[in-house]
């Protein structure tokens, strides 16, 4: 039995079954045994691969976009370039490299990396060695100093713990995780009926709610409405809030049982973009998108960038560039193509003019 499994079993034995939110939080962020505390999950030899790890073109497009967003916000001095969940630091490295063509942006920003994992902080520090822009690491968005904020979040919101509610004959009940008689983790239901949840649905339906993501978006939108700035959120998810669940576990590039080995797999849910849009608008922010990642990156000129890179590449490198482009923008099964399931959405100060990438 892994140390985290032992700890979860003890918690359940003491306090009773736990919510999915608590389970995800323990599995991903337990200070000693949490997945992100103990793993470098990215790349072919890891558990999954993210867009910045597929190609530098992704970070370059986001870098150009965020520096344009800064200019469109009247180029405020003392601004902060913030990244939520920077992984290996690859995205930020690509962003800072392309930002050199916009020297006034670089001259007016400091970087904040929001990262809980000491292991990933070390990797980020290595990747970003030699950058002249000042960089600070923070465990929580709330620690970012007051300033106009230019924020990037790629595959961050899917990692925030969600809750499930299941419709029963007697009403909605929260899905819990407890122990079976054999001592294995097993799904169950709370005995308490949720009276907030006033959603009509047939018995057996599931609703997924990410209260943590909605609260964080609210907090970010509040800051942006007061101090100026934008958030660009890129992640997999759906445009409309729907019934159903998307809780999944991935290890070594395959789907695995999310209750099987806590702390050993990446646990996520799809992002409910509509819910996050409502949370941002409720604070007075302007929202553009979501649009499909493929459409967003094409509008920003990723195909032209691929052509330019191909011109100075060897034939083998040209094949890699073309296949990376296809993977980032192409439609179809998400394991091969990110262009459709992944989406981009921007949250900004209400006075910001429309930013590129969001035409449908």
* Contacting positions for ligand SAH (CB under 6 A): 28-29, 36, 42, 50, 52-53, 85-87, 91, 114-117, 120, 154-156, 159
Burial of 165 (0-12, 13-18, 19+ CB in 10 A): buried
**In the complex, residue closest to ligand SAH by CB:** 85
CA distance 185 to 177: 7
Least Cβ distance, residue 336 to ligand SAH (angstroms)? 18
Least Cβ distance, residue 36 to ligand SAH (angstroms)? 4
Least Cβ distance, residue 216 to ligand SAH (angstroms)? 9
- 293 Cβ neighbours under 8 A, 6+ residues apart: 51, 234, 328, 329, 338, 339, 340, 342, 343, 344
Q: Which is nearer to ligand SAH, 206 or 211 (CB)?
A: 211
Q: Which is nearer to ligand SAH, 166 or 300 (CB)?
A: 300
Q: Which is nearer to ligand SAH, 30 or 164 (CB)?
A: 30
* DSSP state at residue 225: H
Q: Which is nearer to ligand SAH, 120 or 297 (CB)?
A: 120
Q: Which is nearer to ligand SAH, 29 or 190 (CB)?
A: 29
Q: Which is nearer to ligand SAH, 128 or 159 (CB)?
A: 159
211 torsion bin: left (phi>0), alpha (psi -120 to 50), beta (else): alpha
Least Cβ distance, residue 55 to ligand SAH (angstroms)? 12
Least Cβ distance, residue 222 to ligand SAH (angstroms)? 18
Laid out side by side, the sheet with 254-256 consists of 254-256, 248-251, 266-268
Q: Following DSSP, what letter does each residue of 254-269 receive, concatenated? A: EEE-TTTSTTSSEEE-
Q: Which two tokens stand for residue 338?
A: 């990110």
Q: Which is nearer to ligand SAH, 147 or 213 (CB)?
A: 213
Do 228 and 77 form a contact (C-beta atoms < 8 A)?
Answer: no
Q: E-strand spans in the chain?
A: 18-19, 79-84, 109-114, 135-138, 149-154, 163-168, 171-179, 185-193, 206-209, 229-238, 248-251, 254-256, 266-268, 271-272, 286-292, 342-348
Least Cβ distance, residue 40 to ligand SAH (angstroms)? 10
* DSSP state at residue 60: H
Q: How many CA atoms lie within 13 A of 213 on its CB side?
A: 28
Least Cβ distance, residue 181 to ligand SAH (angstroms)? 33
Least Cβ distance, residue 85 to ligand SAH (angstroms)? 2
Q: Which is nearer to ligand SAH, 29 or 299 (CB)?
A: 29
Chain center to CA of 162: 13
Least Cβ distance, residue 50 to ligand SAH (angstroms)? 3
Q: Which is nearer to ligand SAH, 112 or 228 (CB)?
A: 112
β-pairing, 109-114 vs 79-84, is parallel
């Amino acid at each position: 039995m892994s140390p985290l499994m032992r700890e979860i079993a003890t918690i359940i034995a003491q306090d009773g079954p736990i919510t999915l939110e608590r389970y995800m939080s323990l599995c991903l962020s337990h200070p000693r045994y949490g997945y992100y505390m103990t793993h470098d999950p990215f790349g072919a030899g890891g558990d999954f691969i993210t867009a910045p790890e597929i190609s530098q073109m992704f970070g370059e497009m986001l870098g150009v976009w965020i520096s344009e967003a800064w200019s469109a916000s009247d180029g405020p001095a003392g601004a902060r370039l913030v990244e939520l969940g920077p992984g290996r630091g690859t995205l930020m490295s690509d962003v800072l490299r392309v930002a050199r063509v916009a020297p006034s942006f670089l001259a007016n920003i400091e970087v904040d990396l929001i990262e809980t994992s000491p292991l990933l902080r070390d990797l980020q520090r290595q990747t970003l060695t030699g950058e002249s822009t000042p960089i600070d690491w923070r465990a929580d968005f709330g620690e970012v100093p007051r300033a106009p904020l230019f924020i990037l979040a790629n595959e961050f919101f899917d990692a925030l713990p969600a809750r499930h509610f299941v419709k029963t004959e007697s009403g909605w009940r929260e899905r819990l995780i407890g122990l079976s008689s054999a001592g294995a983790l097993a799904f169950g239901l709370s005995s308490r009926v949720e009276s907030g949840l006033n959603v009509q649905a047939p018995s057996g339906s599931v609703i997924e709610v990410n209260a943590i993501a909605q609260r964080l978006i609210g907090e970010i939108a509040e800051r942006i409405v007061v101090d100026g700035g934008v958030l660009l959120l890129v992640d997999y998810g759906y445009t409309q809030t729907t019934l159903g669940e998307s809780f999944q576990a991935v290890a070594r590039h395959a789907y695995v049982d999310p209750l099987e080995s806590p702390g050993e797999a990446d646990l996520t849910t799809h992002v409910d973009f509509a819910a996050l849009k409502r949370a941002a608008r409720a604070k007075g922010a302007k929202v553009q998108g979501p649009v499909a990642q493929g459409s967003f990156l094409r509008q920003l000129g990723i195909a032209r960038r691929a052509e330019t890179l191909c011109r100075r590449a060897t034939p083998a490198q040209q094949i890699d560039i073309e296949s990376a482009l296809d993977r980032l923008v192409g439609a179809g099964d998400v394991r091969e193509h990110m262009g459709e399931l992944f989406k981009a959405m921007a949250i900004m100060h209400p006075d910001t003019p429309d930013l590129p990438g969001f035409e449908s």
